[in-house]
Amino acid sequence: MAEKMYCAVKALIEECGRFLFIEYGPPLLDGVLDLPGGRVEKGEDPLDALVREVKEETSFDVLVGKPVGVYWLIRENDGDQVNAMLFECKAKTISAPANTSPDPIKAFHWLTLDEALGKNFGKKTTLKKLLSSYSSLR
């Protein structure tokens, strides 16, 4: 199968100095942290995709704020390249997150950026760099 490239959008949701991270379970990258969000479908507005993906993965309705930056990775399972845009987001209401997507999310974590940067991001090294830069500018 030929490798593909696609666009994704991710949300940096802050509440009281902590940010919402998801932790994948098997069979995906067990124990790897990520941010809520996902793939932009063909013809879909990226901001609409972000609102949809966050709702599916967390049950939160969000307001999309300013862009934080772009990161990329090569997916381990198929070699596809993902170019992801990261946006600050604000949850309209905060409750216990609930996953309604098909993604195997093991846990949700509210972490400071310093706490998150000490965790396992797997192959998402460019996300870790982006979060580190964001943290130093705050």
Tokens of 65: 């704020």
Q: Where are the domains of the chain?
A: 5-137
Tokens of 110: 């509210």
Tell me the fold of 5-137.
Answer: Nucleoside Triphosphate Pyrophosphohydrolase (3.90.79)
Tell me: pLDDT of 1 over 60.
no
Tell me: pLDDT of 28 over 80.
no
DSSP designation for 101: S
- Each residue's pLDDT tens digit, 39-77: 999 999 999 999 999 999 999 999 999 999 999 998 877
Task: Compute the distance between CA of residue 135 and CA of residue 137 in angstroms, rounded to an integer.
Answer: 5
pTM of the model: 0.90
- Each residue's pLDDT tens digit, 105-114: 899 999 999 9
